[in-house]
Amino acid sequence: MPLNIDWKQILLHLFNFVLLFAILFFLLYKPVKKFMDKRMQYYKDMDDDANKKLEDAEEMKKAYEEKLSAADEEIAGKKRDADMLVEKEREEAIKRAEKEAGEILVKARADGEAEKKKIIDGAQAEIVDMVAEACKKAVSADPSAAMDGFLSAANEDKDE
């Protein structure tokens, strides 16, 4: 044979190769495959866990949004109630103020009428006194002295 290769050597090398392949398969491939499968499972579990946490977070977000919406509605309702209460109190205050203003106006008119009557009564009394004095002086003996007295009395009243 050329190159000194016979069939026995080829078969022996082939047998060694198969034996080496089998040993390497059991020693290297299976542990590496087992490690890779374990690693793949680990990352798959992490992914599943992350997806579960994401779903839980989305559910919590939805629940919080619903609670927030309910709280907003409750706040709006309380604001409406407070606005209505403020409006009612404002209207009551306006009514009280109008009532007080009316009472003050009635009292002021009554006081004004009383003051007017007092002034008129006082003026009438003064007029009566002046007329009486004028009549006395007119009946007196000296008409010019009576006229001077009347004019001086009128000037005194005018100065007051």
Q: How far is CA 90 from CA 69, 95, 120, 150, in A?
A: 31, 9, 44, 63
Return the half-sphere exposure (C-beta side, CA atoms, 13 A cut-off) of residue 87.
Answer: 6
Query: What is the Cα–Cα distance from 7 to 51, expressed in whole angstroms?
Result: 61
Specify the pTM. 0.41
- Which token pair is 95? 């009514």
Query: What is the Cα–Cα distance from 123 to 126, expressed in whole angstroms?
Result: 5
What residue spans define the domains of the chain? 9-116
How do the pLDDT tens digits run along the chain, 160 residues long? 466 778 888 899 999 999 999 998 888 888 889 999 999 999 999 999 999 999 999 999 999 999 999 999 999 999 999 999 999 999 999 999 999 999 999 999 999 999 999 999 989 988 888 888 878 776 765 666 666 777 787 777 766 6
